[in-house]
Amino acid sequence: MKIEGSAKCLVILVGESDHWHGKPLYAAIVERAREMGLAGATVTRGVMGYGANSRIHTTSILRLSDDLPMVIHLIDLEERLRPFIEVLDEMVTEGLVMTWDVQVERYVSSGPKERA
Amino acid sequence: MKIEGSAKCLVILVGESDHWHGKPLYAAIVERAREMGLAGATVTRGVMGYGANSRIHTTSILRLSDDLPMVIHLIDLEERLRPFIEVLDEMVTEGLVMTWDVQVERYVSSGPKERA
Amino acid sequence: MKIEGSAKCLVILVGESDHWHGKPLYAAIVERAREMGLAGATVTRGVMGYGANSRIHTTSILRLSDDLPMVIHLIDLEERLRPFIEVLDEMVTEGLVMTWDVQVERYVSSGPKERA
């Protein structure tokens, strides 16, 4: 798989405690992206937040729940991301999905290394 | 509150040890965003960095201070973010504030769930 | 150093276990950015991911390796980032480098505070 030049960054914000068919939603989203052949995904855990995905929460001693914000980034061509965004319509029942244009300056992969 | 289509992503970079009226600056910024009715905020802690917000620092054994970079993301309509950016002029005495255009593909909220 | 108005955000995705001349690649990239006078860099560690930079991996109990995704953000003027991107061509042998346009709303630095 090759990405070069104009591409899209897709960001999904969900809560850490959101689930999909028995597993964490953020993990289910990453797995689905892999199944659909998207180039990659990166998940980051927030330490505080509020919004569509969650009540206000923090990792401090006053942490109120495990529902911290999880941020998923995917970078790929728009034509590959678009069908995935339709899948997200079903999976994300609370949260935010956004995109913007990026320029891929360099993309180097040694081929399929992922494993379950 | 509803966001759809064209919106802005606002990112604020400050130091973990920066304070505002006795509380961490990043937490004060999130609270102010909530008070001003912005759609949401997500805070991420960096593990290393340098720049406007901080000297070079890392979470490694050579970590020199607690002043790690804190990254705050907010997504909303420009007309709601603009007055908030003016508030940041006063709060952020060292750091970086930037914006870019995004497309909100999906925003689903079950309504106000936040609590103090 | 001053940044105002139109600028670029540069994001680099590499693996935590990637190395460059005996040190972690992400740290080597930040040091090189500092040497080349770039305005700042922020490194975030992902908790899960797959793609150019890595096999699928997670911080969970099923974590398979230490090769978690490391995300490096730099914000600066395009003319300062461009020579740095050429340097990255040599350093990043597996990973993703991308840019997009941002608007710097505020940049306040008290001057050079970084130390080794």
Q: Say whether residue A93 is in contact with chain C using an 8 A CB cutoff.
A: no
pLDDT grade for C90, boundaries at 50, 70 and 90: very high
Give the closest of A55, A94, A98 to B75, CB-based: A98
pLDDT tens for A83-105 read: 999 999 999 998 999 999 999 99
Q: Are strands B19-20 and A95-108 parallel, antiparallel or unpaired?
A: unpaired
Q: Say whether residue C111 is in contact with chain A using an 8 A CB cutoff.
A: no
pLDDT for the residue numbered A115: 36
Residue C113 has pLDDT above 60, yes or no: no
Contact between chains at A49 and B34 (C-beta distance less than 8 A): no
Residue A25 has pLDDT above 70, yes or no: yes
Secondary structure of chain B in HEC code, one letter for each residue:
CCCCEEEEEEEEEEECCCEECCEEHHHHHHHHHHHCCCCCEEEEECCEEEECCEEEEECCCCCCCCCCEEEEEEEECHHHHHHHHHHHHHHCCCEEEEEEEEEEEEEECCCCCCCC
Give the closest-approach CA distance of A36 to chain B in angstroms: 19
Q: Which residue has the tokens 């050429």?
A: C86
Q: Say whether residue B105 is in contact with chain A using an 8 A CB cutoff.
A: yes
Average pLDDT over residues C87-97: 94
pLDDT tens for A40-87 read: 999 999 999 988 755 555 554 444 445 799 999 999 999 999 999 999
Contact between chains at B69 and C7 (C-beta distance less than 8 A): no
pLDDT tens for C17-68 read: 999 999 999 999 999 999 999 999 999 999 999 887 555 555 544 444 457 9
Q: What is the pTM of this model?
A: 0.89
Which whole-number Å values give the CA distances from A1 to A66, A110, B36, C89, C108, in the listed order? 36, 10, 44, 19, 41
Contact between chains at A13 and B39 (C-beta distance less than 8 A): no
Contact between chains at C52 and A109 (C-beta distance less than 8 A): yes
pLDDT for the residue numbered B116: 35
Q: Which residue has the tokens 């960001």?
A: A11
Q: Say whether residue C59 is in contact with chain B using an 8 A CB cutoff.
A: no
Q: Say whether residue B17 is in contact with chain C using an 8 A CB cutoff.
A: no
